[in-house]
Amino acid sequence: MSETNSLPNRMPLTIIQAAIDRILSAGVPPAKFHEPISNMAQSVKRMRRLTDQLLLFRKMQAGKLSVAVQPTDLPQFLKNIFLTFHEVAEQRKITAEFLPQSRHFHVPVDHDYIDKAVYNLLSNAFKYTPSGGIVTMKVKQNEQDSTVAIIVEDSGCGISKEKQKHLFDRYVTGKISSDSIGIGLNLTASLIEAHHGSISYCERNGGGSVFTLTIPANEDAYSQSERLQASAIQIQTSSAERNNTSLYKAMRAQPLNSQRILIVEDDNDVALLVQQEINELFYTDIASNASEALRKMESESYDLVITDMTMPKMSGLAMAKHIRQGVHNPHVPIIILTGKIDDDLKTKALLTGINVFMTKPFNAEQLRAHCVNLVKSSSSLVQPPSVQTERVISDNRQARFLSQLNQAIDAHIDDTTLNVDTLTEILKVSRSALNTKVRTLTGLSPAELIRSKRISQAKHLLRETDMSIGEIGNKVGMPSPQSFNATFKKITGLSPSEFRKGGVA
């Protein structure tokens, strides 16, 4: 198999590998196993679907495709397939519309073949439609010629005139470009032709694509051998099976850090996986292609970009060059994920300015570690030395300690005796351990942190209350006017009275 044909088969392996990693590293409670197990279940089904398509492709090559049609409520059957893309549409903010001419009517179809043909068209439509776009599926009856049309429209990038000429051809030899559709449409066309039907393409008004599948509406179009016998048993991977699989979705807590990461990945399953692995640590956005990512970067500020290498229209490497040569955050760290294992490509990526090059299947722990380290280094580089940079929290233990530390200081902020010894007693840690942890999480010594929080509270009271400066000094544990004024001015550059009058600290 060529690299291009083998790449899709690596994607489910990525999900399975990361889910297994997560299960092995998870502790109690058991609920933490739910989501990875769901990921694996979904990936196994996806791999089976790819394998089924490969088997059908082999049958097609050998000229052995034959249907087994049965009367089917076609609008309801197609609706089940359409609903499997609900999560993708919601995640990408794509408007998804299912518009049958009638809610119920029966047509003879081979469930497996129609499922795969329609699923392929919808998969391409959602894949190539940008965020904020629209995907519509219509089902129309034509009583004059006894046919049914299944129409899939999208507002995506469309298909070039040159490629339209060979849209349903099978690629036999030669390398397929990264933005081609591959053998999927050729297989879809063959599945519809086995129904004595046809497939056509036209450009959508306003941009995008329209694919139309036309199949017979009457059983008379099929020979006796092409009709499913009542006693036959079908074992199928169909939309109904996919639709009945309820995937566990954990409720998301707030990330431990305020930094934002942009995930650029045209495979929605992999994008969601990467998001699941890091959204405990950071806020995340997803872009389905490089163009969408570059648009997002024009209006949003990101602390890290994680991108796939092979994407339609523009590769991850080409996008990285755009970022490095542009004006919108050209120094943002970039991690690239790829199924290609190629030393020359890795060298080229690093020379382009890629910070980390990771091959799929990737290790989830390593990905999280790279994210933390790159965000840390990026935060310290973009700030001048005089500005205190926000520290990156890498796990829940750090978050719990920082929360306990802040609560301890806030609860005793008006206590003039609050000092390092007070904190060691409350938090049950040694002075050296306290100093190490506080410096790691805040960049300040414990004494500096106490002083900083006293002044922050004083600034709040000066702005929001009519209390006298002396009263405020008492409220923040600094009853001496001289000491309060001196400390406040040292930290803010203004006296308390100047700050209250509207000075900017």
d(CA 148, CA 439): 69
pLDDT at 244 over 60: no
Residue 333 banded pLDDT, cuts 50, 70, 90: very high
pLDDT at 241 over 50: no
Q: Same structural domain for residues 280 and 307?
A: yes
Phi and psi at 233, nearest 5°, equal: -115, 125
Give a yes or no: residue 46 inside a domain.
yes
Measured CA angle at 294 (ends 121, 201), to 5 deg: 20
Q: For position 47, what pLDDT does the model report? A: 67
Give a yes or no: residue 249 inside a domain.
no
Q: Same structural domain for residues 369 and 486?
A: no
pLDDT at 73 over 90: yes
pLDDT at 202 over 90: yes
Nearest CA-CA partner of 363 in 18, 16, 12: 18
Q: Same structural domain for residues 461 and 377?
A: no
pLDDT for 413-464, tens place per residue?
999 999 999 899 999 989 888 988 888 777 788 998 899 889 989 988 988 8
Nearest CA-CA partner of 242 in 14, 15, 49: 49
d(CA 295, CA 260): 16
pLDDT for 44-70, tens place per residue?
666 666 666 666 667 766 777 788 899
Q: Same structural domain for residues 214 and 113?
A: yes
Mean pLDDT to the nearest integer, 179-201: 80
Q: For position 294, what pLDDT does the model report? A: 93
Q: Same structural domain for residues 77 and 164?
A: yes
Three-state SS for 257? coil
Do 159 and 205 form a contact (C-beta atoms < 8 A)? no
Mean pLDDT to the nearest integer, 302-329: 89
Q: Same structural domain for residues 292 and 364?
A: yes
Give a yes or no: residue 250 inside a domain.
no
Residue 10 banded pLDDT, cuts 50, 70, 90: low
Q: For position 131, what pLDDT does the model report? A: 87
Mean pLDDT to the nearest integer, 112-141: 91
Cα distances (Å, whole numbers) of residue 352 to 38, 260, 296, 327, 484: 37, 23, 21, 16, 52
Answer with the residue of higher pLDDT: 1 or 347: 347
Q: Same structural domain for residues 200 and 66?
A: yes
Answer with the residue of higher pLDDT: 341 or 212: 212
Q: Same structural domain for residues 137 and 24?
A: yes
Which amino acid is present at 214? T
Residue 385 banded pLDDT, cuts 50, 70, 90: very low
Q: For position 464, what pLDDT does the model report? A: 87
Do 345 and 389 form a contact (C-beta atoms < 8 A)? no
CATH number at residue 440: 1.10.10.60
Q: Same structural domain for residues 170 and 54?
A: yes
Mean pLDDT to the nearest integer, 175-187: 53
CB atoms within 10 A of CB 269: 16
The percent of residues in the chain predicted with pLDDT above 90, rounded, is 28
d(CA 428, CA 408): 12
Q: Same structural domain for residues 304 and 364?
A: yes
Give a yes or no: residue 387 inside a domain.
no
Q: Same structural domain for residues 108 and 180?
A: yes
Range of the domain at 24: 3-227+236-244
pLDDT at 388 over 50: no
Q: For position 440, what pLDDT does the model report? A: 79
Give a yes or no: residue 391 inside a domain.
no
pLDDT at 165 over 50: yes
Q: For position 177, what pLDDT does the model report? A: 37
Answer with the residue of higher pLDDT: 327 or 388: 327
Domain count, the chain: 3
Q: For position 239, what pLDDT does the model report? A: 44
Cα distances (Å, whole numbers) of residue 79 to 74, 136, 250, 319: 8, 12, 26, 36
The percent of residues in the chain predicted with pLDDT above 70, rounded, is 75
CATH number at residue 112: 3.30.565.10
d(CA 377, CA 89): 35
pLDDT for 474-494, tens place per residue?
999 998 888 899 889 888 888
Give a yes or no: residue 144 inside a domain.
yes
Q: For position 384, what pLDDT does the model report? A: 42
Cα distances (Å, whole numbers) of residue 195 to 66, 107, 147, 227, 258: 8, 12, 11, 11, 54
Q: Which helix (H) or strand (E) holds 275?
A: helix 268-278
pLDDT at 191 over 80: yes
Average pLDDT, the chain: 80
Do 418 and 283 form a contact (C-beta atoms < 8 A)? no
Q: For position 99, what pLDDT does the model report? A: 94
pLDDT at 230 over 70: no
Give a yes or no: residue 254 inside a domain.
no
Do 308 and 316 form a contact (C-beta atoms < 8 A)? yes
Q: Which helix (H) or strand (E) holds 152?
A: strand 147-154
Mean pLDDT to the nearest integer, 256-276: 86
Q: For position 50, what pLDDT does the model report? A: 66
Mean pLDDT to the nearest integer, 463-469: 89
Q: For position 503, what pLDDT does the model report? A: 62
pLDDT at 84 over 90: no
What is the rounded radius of gyration, in angstroms, for the C-alpha atoms of the chain? 30
Q: Which helix (H) or strand (E) holds 11?
A: helix 3-25
Do 434 and 427 form a contact (C-beta atoms < 8 A)? yes
Among 382, 412, 427, give the residue marking a domain's end: 382
Residue 74 banded pLDDT, cuts 50, 70, 90: very high
Q: Same structural domain for residues 71 and 213?
A: yes
Q: For position 167, what pLDDT does the model report? A: 81
d(CA 227, CA 230): 9
Mean pLDDT to the nearest integer, 140-153: 93
Q: For position 197, what pLDDT does the model report? A: 94
Buried b (16+ CB within 10 A) or exposed e, 354-366: bbbbbbbbbebee
Among 355, 382, 409, give the residue marking a domain's end: 382
Give a yes or no: residue 437 inside a domain.
yes
Cα distances (Å, whole numbers) of residue 34 to 17, 246, 367, 400: 15, 11, 21, 24
Give Cβ neighbours of residue 423 (< 8 Å, ≥ 6 apart). Answer: 405, 408, 409, 434, 446, 450
Q: Which of 141-145, 165-169, 387-391 has the lowest mean pLDDT?
A: 387-391
What DSSP character marks residue 181? -
